Amino acid sequence: MESPFRSEAAAFRFLLITIGAFALIVIMAVISTALGFLTFLALSAAAVAMYLRQRGPTPDREHVATLGGPDERRVLVVANETVQGEELLSTISTLALIERTQFLVVCPALNSRLKTFTSDEDPARAAARARLDVTLARLASVGIEASGEVGDGDPLVAVDDAMRTFGPNEIVISTHPPGKSNWLERGIVESVRARYDVPVTHVVVELAAGTDD
Amino acid sequence: MTAHAEPLHGHDDHHGPPPANQSSRVDPRTLGMLLFIGSEIMLFGSFFAAYFFVRVVNPGAPDHWPPEPYHFPVFVAGVNTAILVTSSFTMHWALQCIKRGERAGFLAGMVLTFLMGFAFLLTQVVEYLNVGFNTSDGAFASVFFGLTGLHGAHVFVGLSLLGMVIIRGFRGHYSPEHHHGVELPGIYWHFVDVMWIVVYATVYLL
């Protein structure tokens, strides 16, 4: 979504649209008050629909400086409900075998929009923390060095935060299969690939139940 | 004889705190203006809510607005609207000029914008003095002065911003590469114009 006030040129365009829209509303209202009101409703609905359909400008690809040493590989793992999936654990194990690798597992605290707006995020964070703890314990039991944290509810923001604090060489994103995954529907994997100049591996995890990532 | 001072530190030395994390990827100054305008929309929204409430509960609604025997100066406000809308065009022109490095056009555009904004405000004051009713004449008068006065206050703030841009412009500030200080007041000025279109259509015409 792009704000109509993101720049002077956009604000000027919005002013011209506003003039046209209100001129139409006034003309219709002169004919009939109800017609004017209906025009206002129709134009408002059309404006909201157009605004929601707009795609924001594509940001430039960002270079991420790794924070690890020369002989250390750092992998950022992003997953929520699929964090305990066998496919993901297998991928992490394979990467750990190649060279000395430091993993950071980030579980975004996924929440509903209503709960996010009302700051009711404690249950979501607790659920993410519980899944994360189980996963870290399981990785530790097979000798994989990993740390973890609960991330922002928006997976892109969670990745962005981790990129700055962890500075990875590679990102692994785990999701449900296509058709079941909200993240795939939102294009999270493509967005991360477009945003950062590090390799991004997408792991599809088939769980028995559940629809959230 | 010339003196040459070596820098005390190399170019790679970093001073001060690390750059802040900027997950939103929106320029902080633009984001600040967006949040400000968001709060302004809510403020205007509350005044519009009061206006529509008073208008709906008016005994003569919906046929008699404003209540007899009062009238809103529709024509004068219409001329004022034309002045304010034109000022948005000159504001846009001024910014386009500074982006192209045309300083004379930029300054002319900014001065014209300021003068038209000032003329709008002056006309509104004259309108208040001659409108024929006061805030004590009923709720309709209170919401009329409240809503148009709120907008007038925003025009005053906008004029202050434009005044600062003009002063800085005459001192040689701004260039095709650095004109953010013109862009942000421009966004605000267009927002003030958008709000006036809504106020004029709602209060005077409908």
Where residue B15 falls among pLDDT bands split at 50, 70, 90? Answer: low
A117 and chain B in contact, CB less than 8 A? no
The pLDDT tens digits of the residues spanning A44-67 come to 898 888 877 766 556 667 777 777
Q: CA-based angle A117:A118:A123, to the nearest 5?
A: 105
**Contact between A68 and A169 (Cβ < 8 Å):** yes
Average pLDDT over residues B70-83: 90
Is B25 within 8 Å of A59 when comparing Cβ atoms?
yes
Closest-CA residue of chain A to B183? A8
Residues of chain A with pLDDT under 50: 210-212
Is B201 within 8 Å of A33 when comparing Cβ atoms?
no
pLDDT at position B11 is: 45
ipTM above 0.85, yes or no: no
A157 and chain B in contact, CB less than 8 A? yes
Is B197 within 8 Å of A19 when comparing Cβ atoms?
yes
**Contact between A133 and A90 (Cβ < 8 Å):** no
Q: How far apart are CA A195 and CA A161, in angstroms?
A: 13
Predicted TM-score (pTM) of this structure = 0.63
A25 and chain B in contact, CB less than 8 A? yes
A14 and chain B in contact, CB less than 8 A? yes
The amino acid occupying position B14 is H
Where residue B1 falls among pLDDT bands split at 50, 70, 90? Answer: very low
Contacts of A39 (CB under 8 A, 6+ apart): A24, A25, A28, A29
pLDDT at position A5 is: 81
The amino acid occupying position B194 is V
A61 and chain B in contact, CB less than 8 A? no
Looking at every residue in chain A, the average pLDDT score rounds to 85
Chain A nearest C-alpha distance from B130 (Å): 26
Instruction: Give me the residue from A5, A18, A160 closest to B37, CB to CB.
Output: A5
Is A7 within 8 Å of B91 when comparing Cβ atoms?
no
User: Taking the C-alpha atoms of B200, B202, B203 and B205 in order, what is their torsion angle to the nearest 10 degrees?
Assistant: 80
- What are the structure tokens assigned to B102, written together? 């045309």
Q: Which B residues 124-183 touch A at CB under 8 Å?
A: 182-183
**Contact between A84 and A148 (Cβ < 8 Å):** no
Question: In B143-168, which positions are buried (b, 16+ CB within 10 angstroms) versus exposed (e)?
Answer: bbbbbbebbbebbeebbebbeebbee
